A and B are shown apart, each in its own frame.
Chain A
Amino acid sequence: MQLEPRLQTPLWMTVAAPVAAVVIVLLLCGGLIAWAGAPLVDSYIALFKGAFGSKFALAETLVRATPLILTGLAAAVAFRAKLWNIGGEGQLYMGALATTYFGTGLVVLPAPLMIPFLFVVGAIAGGLLLLVPALLKTKLKVDEVVTTLLLNFVILLLTNYLLFGPWKDPLAMGWPQGAPVVDSGILPNLIAKTRLHGGLIFSLIAAVCIWLVMSKTKWGLEIRAVGLNQDAATFAGIPINKTIIRTALISGGLAACAGVTEVAGTKEYLTLDISPGFGYTGIAVAMLAGLNPLGVILAALFIAGIYNGADSMSRAMDVSNYIADVITAASLLMVMLAVMLTRMRIRFG
């Protein structure tokens, strides 16, 4: 078996490959749904309705897509530079911790200042968390995959300590949750009677900004060059370490903003389960989008739809909602494969 590069990739293939991959995944996962004894077509209809079938369902999907866009962007930016930031989950919690520290009474500003302030302190906290592995990578050649992964556990334990200890809200009937964010820090509601909040606007703006930075600026070019070929980048006079540090600050900051949108938007206070693995799912979002910042929006919508749809399907059909995690993981692998096959062809023998 041999792989050889295609001389050119037709446009239809670039578009069809990810779609075909997702269709294959849904067919394969149909086997799991059939195993659960649920009717296949009805189940997928229930999933689709739960994801996009009503104004309420659509709003919930957008609420879920908001942090996924941000963690997806975080992974997309870092992976472009081949900085393997698998610590999105920890950085998200850093953003959530910063929001709780500054946003629950320590600083009170009018809303037009308070909300940007929370995003800034959150992003700084997340950026600083990823700065540690990035510095260890550039100065001491310590592998960033393992350090970012391990820091996730450290930050979750820190959150656990704070919520069971000094930050526990005495008015929360004994639940381990933080004090509510002050009124001026709450992200405004976008559609009445839904949970949809201004975090969505922020994440869409972030996606466009990152797209502009990555495709139109010197910074973006440097980040991509470092990811493609470090030797060539060095030869071209691009400061490798500086670029990696810069990428780390942007990536960590983006993931942390997802923590801000969850604490100041969706929940309005910090809990231990503020993120059901948004940091890890962000990696799947980024790969589904082919690391394209605008594609991240679509990929996040799709994944968010799968999760919300699976929740309502599990209620209607008795299929465990872990099916959403299976679909996400399988899509990640299958889309990578499909995208590669648009660039390479397999020759047997």
Chain B
Amino acid sequence: MDFLDMFLNIGFWAATVRMATPLIFGTLGELICERAGVLNLGIEGIMTTGAMVAWMWVYQGGDLWTAVFVAAAFGMLFGYLHSIFSVYMGLSQHVTGIGITLLSTSLSYYSFRMLLPGVTTPPKIEPFEAWPVPLLSDIPVVGEAFFNQSPLTYCAFILVGVVAYVLYRTPMGLAVRMVGENPLAVEGQGIDVYKVRTAAVMVGSAFMAVGGAFLTISVFDAFYFDMVNGRGWICVALVIFASWRPGKALLGAVLFAAFDAIQIRVQQASSTFIPYQFYLMMPYLFSILALIIMSRKAAYPKALLVPFRRGQR
């Protein structure tokens, strides 16, 4: 296996960008929630819900782009539910997050079974087609790898810039960052901490759901149970790896996807010497390794996990 060949291979870079897409959506979503001081462990279930409802919308005859918005709406719904428990009631963010994951996953599976009873092989839909960017996709190698992707992939990359701009250059972004650092000070400015946190969790959850939707209506053409397969948890790790910064989150997601693409290619190229399950473990082990490396420098938002109770210090 010649590594140089692999890195010069267009397919490798195209796959890296493709696999990074759901991670970018999920990581950005989690990052927004955590910047506002709320750990959102509902991510794994919200991605599953996004994957299911977007697919179901298209399968029932809906339009692909509308499906993205339907997924986002369901994400916001579960985000709102999460914030009722974690923001308004101030309950443990760890446990409510797991609760939201269990609830949204099971509701998705239940609805899928009820809407399509007796289906054994997952039915298929017509997913997003690659959408070559005019001119840019004509650039040799780079064009084909980066500018001949699903439109949702372009959205993910653009969203990184938008989120960075909003977080660091607008009063709204300042409010979000401040409720994650010092909610009392925000309260002193006459801004409603509950509302800012709830809005951040809802927007973040919408991103997560779109990340899930990307799996069913862009990469694959069907909905499988367990298809999110820990991607949500990996996003939680990537947020810490990225030190809560959108640019670094993009870098982390792409690096991670590149490792994943390498892992798949090495697995295909090598003989049966190493069992495939060990390759499949790599993404999870990489995530843990990344956490270990970055944790020394991790500067958590100061009010992360701390519930805000008005009138109490």
Interface set of A (CB-CB < 8 Å, partner B):
1-4, 32, 35-36, 79, 84, 86, 136, 140-143, 145-147, 149-151, 153-154, 157-158, 160-161, 164-165, 280, 283-284, 287, 318, 320, 322-323, 325-326, 328-330, 332-333, 336-337, 340
Contact = CB atoms under 8 A, between A and B. Distances in A.
Interface stretch (B55-63, B100-108, B211-219, B245-253): B100-108
A141 B110 contact: no
B103 A150 contact: no
Nearest to A4: B311
B292 A136 contact: yes
A146 B288 CA distance: 8
Interface stretch (B3-11, B19-27, B143-151, B272-280): B272-280
B184 interface: no
Given A79-B95, A147-B288, A322 B110 contact: yes
A336 B99 contact: yes
Contacts of B125: none
A15 B38 CA distance: 31
Nearest to B39: A145
Interface string B236-256: 110010000000000000000
8 contacts: A141-B298, A142-B291, A145-B94, A153-B281, A161-B275, A280-B102, A283-B95, A329-B105
B308 to A, nearest CB: 10
A329 B114 contact: no
A236 B7 CA distance: 57
Contacts of A325: 102, 105-106, 109-110
B89 interface: yes
Contact of A161 (B105, B278, B295): B278
Contacts of A3: 89-90, 309
A60 to B, nearest CB: 21
Contact of B233 (A1, A146, A280, A322): A146
A157 B267 CA distance: 15
A150 B230 contact: yes
A335 B109 CA distance: 23
A5 B111 CA distance: 39
A160 B298 CA distance: 34
A90 to B, nearest CB: 10
Given A1-B88, A283-B95, A147 B278 contact: no
A336 B109 CA distance: 24
B16 interface: no
B307 to A, nearest CB: 9
Instruction: State the 7 A-B residue pairs at the shortest beta-carbon distance, nearest first.
Output: A325-B106, A329-B102, A320-B113, A329-B103, A161-B277, A322-B110, A150-B284
Given A150-B288, A333-B85, A336-B92, 16 more contacts: A84-B94, A136-B295, A142-B291, A146-B237, A146-B291, A147-B288, A150-B233, A153-B230, A158-B281, A160-B277, A318-B117, A320-B109, A326-B107, A332-B103, A333-B96, A337-B85
Contacts of A284: 99, 102
A150 B234 contact: yes
B236 A145 contact: yes
